[in-house]
Chains A and B, each alone.
Chain A
Amino acid sequence: MKKSISENSVFWAVRFITYSIVAIIGYIIFDIVIKGLPTINLEFITGFPRSSGSEGGILPAIVGTVYLVFGAILVSLPLGMASAIYLSEYAKQGRFTRMIRLAIVTLAGVPSIVFGLFGLGLFVIFLGFGASIISGSFTLAFMILPTIIVSSEEALQAVPKSNREGSLALGATEWQTIYKNVLPYALPGMFTGSILGVGRAAGETAPILLTVAAFFLPRLPSSIFDQVMALPYHLYILATQHPEAEKVLPLQYGTALVLLILVLIFNLAAIFLRSYFRKKYKW
């Protein structure tokens, strides 16, 4: 059957638009890799910055970002999983759960700078943690919490109802049923959700700007109450706030590339965990 001209043009238009999205992402990554790769060497990755970041390495920023991401996951995963379990398995569906869900969706839509301000007010000032890893981790955790709750709940809902009924009918309690016969099968999906959260936590600047990130701190943190440098914030400083912007241009690209690679590593780790659990609990 011959397609009409208008049919064909629509088809080509949507195809072109779709491809152009891939092209844009491809260009960004290509640009960063090409311009960042020459900067990356052992000293850049394992060294400390000198003369306010215009020379030397970015180790403190890498370590800072890794700490912050782990901290955020450590806080948000248990909270998110617990909320998802409550919403999916225990809560009666009604007006109250609708309100909770609305709150979660709203939380997902809150601009990250507002999370930053919230973290500044609650953790840094009110709870007295100061600008520190713990303040930053908690702030990032709350930012990625909605993503984790929503995807965890979807993962729980995807486990067949018969897993629950069969278990309950054998006299298992609700918690035994969830723990032994629902949660293991939902874990892969839960990890998928947290992958998205990790990427966001690693890359956000606004929340950490107000709660943890140091402009220039050429040493590694010694406790969770220390300030740290972080890759996105370091990048922001180099790109816009640095007096010698021209000179540090290669460093910017190097930092951006390291951030990309770091997110990739986090994602790969999560994907590995997911496939491990998927294999272990095949269904």
Chain B
Amino acid sequence: MVNFNDSKITVENLNFYYGKVQALFDINMKISEKKVTALIGPSGCGKSTFLRMFNRMNDIIDGTHHTGSVLIDNRDIYKDGIDIVALRKKVGMVFQKSNPFPKSVFDNAAYGPRIHGVKDKANLYEIVEKSLKDAAIWNEVKDRLDENAMGLSGGQQQRLCIARALAVEPEILLMDEPASALDPKSTARIEDLIGTLKQKYTIIIVTHNMQQASRVSDYTAFFYEGKLIEYDYTDKIFRNPEIKQTEDYITGRFG
């Protein structure tokens, strides 16, 4: 398994429960800065649950609890007194189903900056323009910033959601199957975008699509039934996995 001296995120002995049902089992993992880490595995293996640990989105589900710790920049994000607002500002998220708010394109991208107190119009416009450019959607929407975002195509909606996440200047970007509902062309655009974004952001992406994992990621973690089975360089995982379960999965023998 890979190990980094300078990891952005460190997960130690993490167990997670939905009520009495355990969803994650004793996970230890380090995630490298400004790289793309893919989480793969069959449905229900806990990869999305694991992803949602990093911005504490599991907190909003009643009856969940965990043991162990998750450290970002060497600070335990589950310790008492942690500012969840600041955490979620630092750790952005893009959801599986693109979820633009039923507002204008501009208001979508400006939502984050606004709640964090940016009021000045020119400043706001600057942030919106920059994040839409970073998400490679500016050229398509620059003339329709006032239109309702629900009128955009699926691929545009998802890139708008990425722009919305970038607008609060996160350091880490969590992506939960960001392209699973998109056509191949839109998917390719998102993948290109991920390649550009990793220069500035630490990206963790959950994906069902093995080719996608091998194309976009530097490291890949294979999950099965709530356990981290194998974690290594993506090349290594896909060319020469050490564990049989991993090999069976990536060669399509199950899952």
Contact = CB atoms under 8 A, between A and B. Distances in A.
B236 interface: no
B99 interface: yes
A179 to B, nearest CB: 10
Interface residues of B, number: 26
Interface string A85-121: 0000000111000000000000000000000000000
Interface in B47-66: 55, 57, 60, 62
Contacts of A169: 55, 57, 88, 92-93, 95, 165
A169 B172 CA distance: 12
Interface string B28-58: 0000000000000000000000000001010
A283 interface: yes
A164 B62 CA distance: 15
A2 interface: no
Contact of A167 (B62, B89, B111): B111
A93 B63 CA distance: 10
Given A162-B99, A185-B102, A170 B62 contact: no
A268 B100 CA distance: 33
Contact of A165 (B57, B85, B87, B150): B57
Interface string B138-176: 000000000010100000000001001100100000000
B115 A180 contact: yes
Nearest to A166: B99
A180 B102 CA distance: 11
A92 B63 CA distance: 9
A163 B60 CA distance: 13
A171 B86 CA distance: 7
Interface in A262-283: 281-283
B97 interface: yes
Contacts of B112: 170-172
A166 B95 contact: yes
Given A165-B60, A167-B111, A281 B102 contact: yes
B102 A170 contact: no
Contacts of A20: none
Contacts of B101: 163, 166-167, 181
Contact of B62 (A92, A165, A172, A282): A92
Given A162-B95, A185-B102, A170 B57 contact: no
B98 to A, nearest CB: 9
A283 B149 CA distance: 10
B101 to A, nearest CB: 6
Nearest to A93: B62
A160 interface: yes
Interface in A123-166: 160, 162-166
A52 interface: no
Interface string A163-190: 1111111111100100011000100000
Contacts of A173: 85, 115
B190 to A, nearest CB: 17
B164 A170 contact: yes
Interface in A6-34: none
A166 B102 contact: no
A281 B102 CA distance: 7
B116 interface: yes
Of B85, B115, B116, which is in contact with the most chain A CB atoms at under 10 Å from its CB? B115
Given A165-B57, A165-B60, A170-B168, A176 B99 contact: no
Nearest to B87: A171
9 contacts: A94-B62, A166-B161, A166-B164, A167-B111, A169-B93, A170-B164, A173-B115, A181-B111, A281-B102
7 tightest Cβ-Cβ pairs between the two chains A and B: A283-B102, A162-B99, A171-B89, A171-B88, A169-B93, A170-B112, A172-B115
Given A166-B101, A169-B55, A283-B102, 6 more contacts: A93-B62, A162-B99, A171-B88, A171-B112, A176-B115, A181-B111
Interface of A: 92-94, 160, 162-173, 176, 180-181, 185, 281-283
